């Protein structure tokens, strides 16, 4: 068994994707009153899911990127930010981030005990 | 680092919304001001916001049009503009600024508009605060992995 396997790498990628997603949501919320602003989002889950079965190097190659969300409804002033959508996305993303960190922490604890560090 | 950028981005939102509140407060305070520094009735002001760092260069416009990855940026104030809607005229012959027919030109400030603007910026400010708290919690969770 590798010390840092696909799961470990995948969790790390998910963590950085989730952090970038928070950045995009923060930008959307900051621009809630900016006319013509289009909401941005980060979709790393689908790429990560596809790469997971292909091994560690494929997972490592997943690079989350910010892109403009073309599906969001556009308001009268040309902005596509809906504060309720952003709040929901933010809560969801925060919880996902917390879940990933918890799993990472538990895995680290197991590794530590296997190595013999308390 | 993503989460610090997220905090910076919300910071820009906080200061933009605060400025909107300040300008709304100025409008409300001057709702009855018939003479400003230049002797004219007060005209209401409005804050124009734009995405921070947006450039109108061909490359950026093309990249955005192609749905490419535009970097995450905050919000910035493009300027504070005067509202050009017509000024109100009311009949008040006793007013020191009344013309010879007894009419006074009043500012184009509508208290109801200002109040709704105030609520809008206050709510957006709250949303920014929540976003900043979320980013902070996420960062704390990252540090927690090491413990």
Judge whether B138 lies within some domain: yes
* B71 Cβ under 8 Å from any chain A Cβ: yes
pLDDT of amino acid A53: 86
Averaged pLDDT of chain A: 90
Name chain B contacts of A97, Cβ cutoff 8 Å. Answer: 138, 141
Is the pLDDT reported for residue A118 higher than 70? no
Judge whether B89 lies within some domain: no
Residue B58: exposure state from Cβ atoms within 10 A (0-12, 13-18, ≥19): exposed
pLDDT, average across residues A60-81: 88
pLDDT of amino acid A94: 95
Judge whether B69 lies within some domain: yes
| Of A32 and B5, the one with more pLDDT | A32
Range B29-32 contact pairs with CB under 8 angstroms and sequence separation of 24 or more: B30/B107, B30/B109, B31/B107, B31/B109, B31/B111, B31/B114, B32/B106, B32/B107
Say how many CB pairs under 8 Å bridge A and B.
120
| Pairwise CB contact (< 8 Å): A67 & B137 | no
In chain B, the number of structural domains is 1
* B72 Cβ under 8 Å from any chain A Cβ: yes
- Split chain B (147 residues) into runs of 10 and give each run's mean pLDDT: 82 95 96 90 94 65 59 85 93 92 94 95 95 94 87
Name chain B contacts of A40, Cβ cutoff 8 Å. Answer: 70, 72
| Of B147 and A77, the one with more pLDDT | A77
Judge whether B99 lies within some domain: no
Please tell me the pTM assigned to this model.
0.84
Q: Which percentage of chain A shows pLDDT scores above 90?
A: 51
Judge whether B39 lies within some domain: no
Q: Quote the DSSP letter at residue A55.
A: -
Judge whether B40 lies within some domain: no
Query: Domain residues for B127?
Result: 3-31+45-82+109-146
Domain ranges of chain A: 6-115
CA distance A35 to A80: 9
Residue of A nearest to B122 (CA): A33
Q: Tell me how far CA of residue A84 lies from CA of A110, B75, B104, in angstroms.
A: 39, 19, 45
């Amino acid at each position: 068994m590798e010390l840092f396997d696909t799961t470990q790498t995948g969790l790390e990628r998910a963590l950085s994707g989730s952090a970038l997603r928070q950045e995009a949501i923060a930008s959307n919320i900051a621009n809630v009153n900016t006319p013509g602003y289009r909401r941005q989002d980060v979709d790393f889950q689908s790429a990560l899911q596809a790469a997971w079965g292909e091994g560690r190097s494929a997972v490592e190659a997943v690079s989350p990127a910010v892109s403009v969300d073309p599906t969001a409804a556009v308001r009268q002033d040309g902005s596509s930010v809906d504060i309720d959508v952003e709040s929901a996305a933010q809560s969801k993303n925060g919880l996902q981030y917390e879940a990933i960190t918890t799993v990472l922490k538990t895995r680290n604890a197991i590794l530590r005990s296997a190595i013999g560090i308390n | 680092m993503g989460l610090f950028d997220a905090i910076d981005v919300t910071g820009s939102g906080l200061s933009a919304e605060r400025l909107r509140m300040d300008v709304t407060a100025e409008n409300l305070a001057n709702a009855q001001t018939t003479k400003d520094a230049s002797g004219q009735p007060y005209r209401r002001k409005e804050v124009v916001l734009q995405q921070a760092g947006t450039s109108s260069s061909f490359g950026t416009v093309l990249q955005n049009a192609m749905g490419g990855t535009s970097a995450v940026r905050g919000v910035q104030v493009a300027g504070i503009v005067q509202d050009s809607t017509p000024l109100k005229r009311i009949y008040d012959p006793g007013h020191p600024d009344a013309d010879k027919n007894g009419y006074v030109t009043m500012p184009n400030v509508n208290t109801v508009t200002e109040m709704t603007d105030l609520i809008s910026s206050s709510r957006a400010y709250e949303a920014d605060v929540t976003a900043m708290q979320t980013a902070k919690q996420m960062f704390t969770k990252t540090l927690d992995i090491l413990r």
